[in-house]
Amino acid sequence: MNLKIALLPGDGIGPEVLNQAVKCLHAVEETFNHHFTFKEALVGATAIDRTGNPLPNQTLNLCQEADAVLFGAIGDPKYDNDPSAKVRPEQGLLKLRKELGLFANIRPVQVFPTLLDNSPLKKDIIAGTDFVIYRELTGGIYFGEKKLNEEGTIASDLCEYSEKEISRIAHLAFKAAKNRSGKLTLVDKANVLESSRLWRRVVSKIAESYPEVTLDFLFVDNAAMQIILNPSQFDIILTENMFGDIISDEGSVIGGSIGLLASASVGEQNALFEPIHGSYPQAKGKDIANPIASILSAAMLLEHFGLFEEAMSVREAVDKSLKKGIVTPDLAKKSQYGTNQVGDFIADNI
């Protein structure tokens, strides 16, 4: 298969971890006889520094022409203390999601048997956890009208959803549930929000076309408890943008290492793959960042294009590195392995 892949390394440890994912994709090309072309572009704080724009047109064009985008990380502390600054790195990411129509953010939450002890949660609580969050990514309060009165004393954000926005991601989530254990949980706040009540109606209607899937509902406050109290009860969680942001970051603590978690953001035409960890600027250039989340993002990319065997070989190579303890210091305090060595080991085993 030929694939055009846009590389957006971004900020902090983004470039280092992305390099390891690219190494692994090269290994896949060789082993399975595919042809991937990679082109790199600027995004985030790095792009602001060089062009004044967190998402330069050239970057957007490259992504639009590519089959998929492999993303590093975004964010720089020099912008963190001033979230109201006119230009911020995050705007690049939000604009990219919107322009590429990446309406579904897909985040698997799994525990790796070799790493059960790394979790802040007790073993018996997390054993068997294996669910996927489908978070709506281009609607809701993130993109609704924002207002600030002239005096600067009243501010508002509008959370708006249409049936169409809800149904397209709901169909993806139901299809995924059908191929898994057949359980879908809609997380909302339908006892308070009009938009949540629309979600319930639309999703309940769609459920009729998926008789194999059991649908249930959970208020977001209760979901925030259940994810910690009993994470293995979940199969597919479907939710709107803001709740998904919170719930999926909460879910990321279960496995004990945020350095292992990948995500896909998909739309009709395009798809973007990124580790869920941020730019972790303190670790930049130190060869200590865990490359596995980025490598597993590449595996999700392969699966997205139906290259399941290829993805499996990446996942197996990752498992091998975990089992052999060829991991960065975040996973094993005494580890002597750096980002590059772990990347090399995994690529060599593909």
Residues annotated as part of the active site:
142, 189, 221, 245, 249
Q: Evaluate whether 250 touches 145 at the Cβ level (below 8 Å).
A: no
Q: Which stretch binds a second copy (CB under 8 A): 39-47, 225-233, 307-315, 324-332?
A: 225-233
- Does position 88 interact with a second copy (CB under 8 A)? The reply is yes
Residues 17-76 close enough to bind a second copy by CB under 8 A: none
Phi and psi angles of residue 321, each rounded to the nearest 5 degrees, phi first = -65, -35
Q: Which residues pair with 184 in a beta bridge?
A: 215, 236
Answer yes or no: is 245 a known binding residue: yes
Q: Evaluate whether 97 touches 273 at the Cβ level (below 8 Å).
A: no
State both tokens at 226: 């259940």
- Does position 194 interact with ligand IPM (CB under 6 A)? The reply is no
Phi and psi angles of residue 221, each rounded to the nearest 5 degrees, phi first = -65, -40
Q: How far is the CB of 90 from ligand IPM (least distance, A)?
A: 4
CA-CA distance, 1 to 33, in Å (whole number)?
A: 8
Q: Which stretch binds a second copy (CB under 8 A): 80-88, 175-183, 260-268, 290-298?
A: 80-88
Helix (H, G, I), strand (E, B) or coil at 101: coil
- Does position 191 interact with ligand IPM (CB under 6 A)? The reply is yes
CA-CA distance, 283 to 67, in Å (whole number)?
A: 31
- Does position 99 interact with ligand IPM (CB under 6 A)? The reply is no
Residues 77-96 close enough to bind ligand IPM by CB under 6 A: 90, 93-94
252, interface contact from ligand IPM, a second copy, none, CB < 5-8 Å by kind: a second copy
327: CB partners within 8 A, 6+ apart: 290, 292, 321, 335, 337, 342
Give the nearer residue to ligand IPM in terms of CB position, either 274 or 344.
Answer: 274
Please tell me what DSSP assigns to residue 266: E
Amino acid at position 21, single letter: A
Binding-site members for substrate are: 97, 107, 135, 221
Binding-site members are: 97, 107, 135, 221, 245, 249
Which residues of this chain interact with a second copy, rule CB under 8 A?
81, 83-84, 88, 90, 94, 119-122, 125, 141-142, 144, 146-148, 152-164, 189-198, 200-201, 217, 220-222, 224-225, 228-229, 242-243, 245-250, 252-253, 258
